[in-house]
Amino acid sequence: METLPPKPQTECESNVQLGPDGLARVVLKGRLSTRTVVDCWRSLELALRDAHVKTLEVDVSGVDFCGGAGFALLRYLNMGRMTQGAKVTVVGLAAGFQTLFEGFTAQDYDAFHPQPQKSSHPLVEDAGHATRQLLTDLRDQVDFLGGVAANLPPSLINPKRMRWPEVRHVFELAGANAVPIVSLVSLLLGFIIAFESAQRLAEFGAQIYVANTITVVMVREMGPLMTAILLAGRSASAFAAEIGTMKVNEELNALETLGLSPIRFLVVPRLMAGVMVAPLLTCYSILMGVVGGALVMLGLGFSLRLILHQMALSVHLSDLTVGMEKAVVFGIIVSGIGCWRGLQTEQGPSAVGLSTTRAVVTSLLLIIVADACFSTISYFLK
């Protein structure tokens, strides 16, 4: 038999012997570890690539250590992947190594070996995935709205079916605890609107109308909108995280096993609390915004009596009605989307975070869309 010179290695030696009639013999010595198997694997592939081998014997009697990478190499050789069509036998394995080697079969290798990725069109795949996700969300929305419509009226008609302690708890978390941030944002918003409008109105000598501007803007638009945005960041994310965590921990399945509807038990109280807290926070936001604008007007030298008179002249009951209608709709959107995204939570370490992000993004999007619809309808109904 013709003997090829062994390739020197630090801890592993491979020797390939090619004989007549397609006979070949591979001798492995040393340590088959993760660090040494790579070079050994490459040398064997180079030596056996162009050889016409019908029978291959792999002698590993000189191997004193064999790790996971070493077993992978031996299994690869034993399956004939380097010598297509050849009959391969592995001899010389120690008793302990032989047991581990036989435990990993060729079927296991084919099952766990990563398959090559097929060529695809990312744009087409992304469009299909987005369409499927949209249809799935639409179906879930219909199911969610149907569940709410089936459970909300009985809870309102029969107060004993409503979990009022949960409603009070959510009302406190979403309402009372949000007062500081609503105060700060609304006050600064009133400052900003007042200063910006005063700078422009000063060119026409009409700075007195800053009071009219700040009042109308806060009552009809910025008060409900800023309150809804803050609730989306605080409450929608909190609802999605709470219900999503319950679903991941299979607490929702436990409720269904006990015969309790998750929508009636978890969604309806949060929806009721959101509808109640949004108008109250909106009124408080309007008040703080008007106070911020009044402070700017006082700094410009106008009297408090004149400021209040201008504010009273600029706002009508219809303006306040529009603001409260927006607040109610925004409260339904924020609480409903937060609970819906929480119920959509899947399994996995990042599922709750993903549901929380979706709840905030969807709430903000629908708030802006609803606000645009209100503005359009108000304009054409005047």
User: DSSP for 93-155?
Assistant: --HHHHHHHHHS-HHHHHHHSPPPPPP--HHHHHHHHHHHHHHHHHHHHHHHHHHHHHHHHHH
Domains of the chain: 2-112 (3.30.750.24), 142-381 (no CATH)
Tokens of 107: 């079927």
For the chain, helix, strand, coil in percent to 5 are: 75, 10, 15
pLDDT at 23: 84
Return d(Cα 169, Cα 229) in angstroms, integer: 21
How high is the pLDDT of residue 4? 47
- pLDDT at res. 62: 82
User: For residue 225, which of 286, 268, 311 has the smallest C-alpha distance?
Assistant: 286
pLDDT tens for the chain, residues 1 to 382: 445 444 444 477 888 888 777 788 888 888 887 778 888 888 888 887 777 788 888 888 888 888 777 777 887 887 877 777 788 888 887 777 777 777 666 665 555 454 555 555 677 777 888 888 888 888 888 888 888 888 888 888 887 788 888 888 888 888 888 899 999 999 999 999 998 888 888 888 888 888 888 999 999 999 999 999 999 998 899 999 999 998 888 888 888 888 788 888 889 999 999 999 999 999 999 999 999 999 999 988 888 999 899 888 888 888 899 999 999 999 999 999 999 999 888 877 788 888 999 999 999 999 999 999 998 998 888 6
Q: What's residue 142's pLDDT? A: 86
How far apart CA 366 and CA 36 sit, in angstroms, is 59
For residue 32, the model assigns a pLDDT of 81
Q: 282, 175, 275, 291: which is closest to 221 by C-alpha?
A: 282
User: Position of tokens 């469009």?
Assistant: 127
Q: For residue 345, report the phi and psi dihedrals to the nearest 5 degrees.
A: -60, 135
pLDDT of residue 278: 93
